[in-house]
Amino acid sequence: MNHHVFKDLVPSYMEHLTSEETTMQMEVHMEQCKDCRDYVHEMQEEWMSENVHEQAKEDRKVDYFKKVRSKNRKKILTIVTSLLSLFLILTISYYLLYIKMWIADPNDVQTTIQTQGNSVTLTFTSKQDNRYLLLRKEQLNQDYTDNMIVYEMREDLYTPENLKDGINISYTFLDENTLLLDNGKVKKLTANEKLSIQYKDRTKEISLIDLYHRND
């Protein structure tokens, strides 16, 4: 085997692609020829270092992706943090600017009592400009409204016109001792039948019998 043929075959030899016969011939030639032996060693070293180089490249690529991923993580964290802060700011602004309903201070509430026939109507209006009231009527222990919470609200574009004039509750009496309930039944009254009106820090109680007699 001459040197040229040998050198042509070296790449295939290194990848074990040469036939058994060729491989044998090449090894015989290598034993006799230092030049070709060195050439093979050189090629092997080059191949090895190339592999190492490739591996390093791969590693660098992995490193790069790791960096990108960690950068992305930081970016996502920043975005999430920003969104949370924004949400907090909006929530706080909302509470500061738009919360407009609270339990009324009794000093801000004007109460009037009107009798019309057998009906007695309690009307609540806010003494403050641009405020109006809402009533939460409850039947806690009786079949009629025996408890009420008075809320005050800020007027805005959506405030129903009829609420600006006050909000009311009516009781219908059959006589001074008898209340007609919404369900058509009647309730005999004693001094114990009361309406509790809850304001901020204060609860007022009105006896229903007194309510009937208020305008006498």
160: Cα within 13 Å, side-chain hemisphere:
6
Choose the stretch contacting Zn ion; rule: CB under 5 A; options: 2-10, 54-62, 164-172, 195-203: 2-10
Cβ 64 to Zn ion shortest distance, Å: 44
Cβ 21 to Zn ion shortest distance, Å: 18
Nearer to Zn ion, 33 or 103 (CB): 33
Cβ 6 to Zn ion shortest distance, Å: 5
Residues 7-46 as x/- pattern, contact with Zn ion by CB under 5 A? --------------------------x-xx----------
Cβ 62 to Zn ion shortest distance, Å: 42
Nearer to Zn ion, 23 or 172 (CB): 23
Angle at 196 between CA 191 and CA 202, to 5 degrees: 125
197 burial (CB, 10 Å; 0-12 / 13-18 / 19+) is: buried
Nearer to Zn ion, 26 or 153 (CB): 26
Nearer to Zn ion, 8 or 143 (CB): 8
Distances (CA, A) of 59 to 19, 52, 54: 36, 10, 9
Q: In the range 133-162, which residues lie near Zn ion by CB under 5 A?
A: none
Cβ 4 to Zn ion shortest distance, Å: 9
Residue 109, phi then psi, degrees to nearest 5: -110, 130
Q: Give the CA dihedral 164, 162, 136, 171, nearest 10 degrees.
A: 120
> For residues 117 and 134, what is the distance between their CA atoms, to the nearest angstrom?
25
Cβ contacts of 120 within 8 Å, gap of 6 or more: 113, 114, 170, 171, 172, 173, 211, 212, 214, 215
Nearer to Zn ion, 29 or 164 (CB): 29
Q: Which of 3, 73, 74, 137 binds Zn ion (CB under 5 A)?
A: 3
Residues at the site binding Zn ion, with contacts judged by CB under 5 A = 3, 33, 35-36
